[in-house]
Amino acid sequence: MSRDNLLSSEQDVLVDANVFFAIGHPSNPKHAQFRSAIRNAGVVCKLPQRVIGELGGPKTDRVQAALDEGWAEIIDAPSPTDGDAVAASDIATRTIANETGKPEHEVEKTDAILAGLAIQYVKDRSTAGVVVLTDDKPARKGIENAVTAQGYTDVISVYGLADVIGDNSGDSMRLI
């Protein structure tokens, strides 16, 4: 079940904060699987400052560990200003509102902005491609819809954690 070809070293991998919680603590097998998938692909997880927020306290120690080990870095991704990027965040907002049955103004801006950040990133930098990783299903759907609607599917791929390390299975979980 080799999934190494999913990520390649030419791509920039933008990661939402939830991925670091989905993989658990360093003692969790998923954590090791994800870390080696990232390292084997020769990429570094780029964590936009505005999606991770403030680090500190025991709950973000696993993010800090990844930063210390060098397979993740915090980047200051420019805000979406390009027309396509701004529209992408709007599409993501509408999709998330639709998925969750909430009014658009109740959709968290940070959930929707990753779509805009990804497109802005492609516009600003010469990149062979961008991968957006998020384990939050409604948020992921928002980004996917935005990328498709704006015609960026050839340069931006959207994946969840299971796409990188395989389907999660109950036998790696302490049940009680």
Partner 1 sequence: MRRVGDSLKYMDSEQAGMNDTNRIHPDGGIDVLDPPPTDIMDEETLEPARLAQNAPRLETVVQLLNQPALARVYVYVCYWGPVSPPEIMDDLELSKSTTYEYVDQLVDFGLVDRDDSTRPQQLTADPIIIVEQYIPIVITPTVLHALALQEVDEDVEYFMDRYGAGKLIAALRGAGLHFAGKTTQRMVATDIDVRETEAMMIIYALEPALTVGRTHDPFFEHLFPDVHDQMDLPSLDEGDGAPAESDSHE
Q: Which of 18, 20, 90 is nearest to 62 (CA)?
A: 20
**Of 53 and 151, CB closest to partner 1:** 53
Which residues contact partner 1 by CB under 8 A?
A: 17-18, 20-22, 24-25, 27-29, 32, 52-53, 58-60, 63, 96, 99-102, 106-108, 110-111, 136-139, 168-176
**Of 69 and 106, CB closest to partner 1:** 106
**Of 102 and 125, CB closest to partner 1:** 102
**Of 1 and 126, CB closest to partner 1:** 1
Per the CB < 8 A criterion, the answer to whether 118 and 147 are in contact is yes
Angle of CA points 94, 74, 3, to nearest 5° = 75
Smallest gap from residue 108 Cβ to partner 1 (A):
4
Smallest gap from residue 113 Cβ to partner 1 (A):
11
**Of 60 and 127, CB closest to partner 1:** 60
Per the CB < 8 A criterion, the answer to whether 132 and 157 are in contact is yes
Smallest gap from residue 160 Cβ to partner 1 (A):
10
Smallest gap from residue 126 Cβ to partner 1 (A):
31
**What string of H, E and C letters represents the secondary structure of 107-158?**
CCHHHHHHHHHHHHHHHHCCCCCEEEECCCHHHHHHHHHHHHHCCCCCCEEE
Smallest gap from residue 52 Cβ to partner 1 (A):
8
Alpha helix ranges (H) inside 1-82: 18-22, 29-41, 49-52, 61-69
